[in-house]
Amino acid sequence: MIEPGTSAPDFRLADHDGNAVTLADFGGRRLVLAFYPLDFSAVCSDQLSIYQEVLGEIEDRDAALVGVSVDSSACHAAFRERLGLTYPLLADFHPKGAVCAAYGAYMDDWGHANRSLVLIDRDGTVAWSFATPTPLEIPGANLIFDALDDGAPA
């Protein structure tokens, strides 16, 4: 997993609408990257729904949230609609998992990302990171709040 103090790797990924999104698009705001395995699995659905429930609290702490997985933009669009998500989902589709790997979240043996969270501060430095021991565990929203409140400059 990427270490705090590291310069956040730049990325250019398509969102759920096929629009290019880069790290620079979030300049001036803290950014939480929520890496997750795959759209439409039960555990991923629960994880991203939890984050949707607390999205306002994340934004109140002057942070943006995006989900990142190896699924395609079209798959993300359908998944967002099914769950009623309002935050962006980014497709690390081709080359598969390259951004996940750059952040230390890609699991070669599984072919997808582990459930991992990365907080990037306003200057593009990784302020905090967390990876679950297994992709079957959900990193709770409390971890995000602890990082935003205590683990990184506001």
Whole-angstrom CA distances from 21 to 12, 15, 139 are 5, 7, 24
* DSSP letter, residue 148: I
Judge contact between 114 and 41, C-beta under 8 A.
no
For residues 33 and 106, the answer to whether their CB atoms sit within 8 Å is no
Place of tokens 């709770």: 140
| Residues 130, 105: Cα–Cα separation, whole Å | 9
Q: Nearest-5° angle of CA 143, CA 146, CA 148? A: 105
Annotation says 44 is catalytic:
yes
Amino acid in position 133: P
* Active-site residue identified among 31, 44, 65, 100: 44
Q: Which residues are tagged catalytic? A: 44
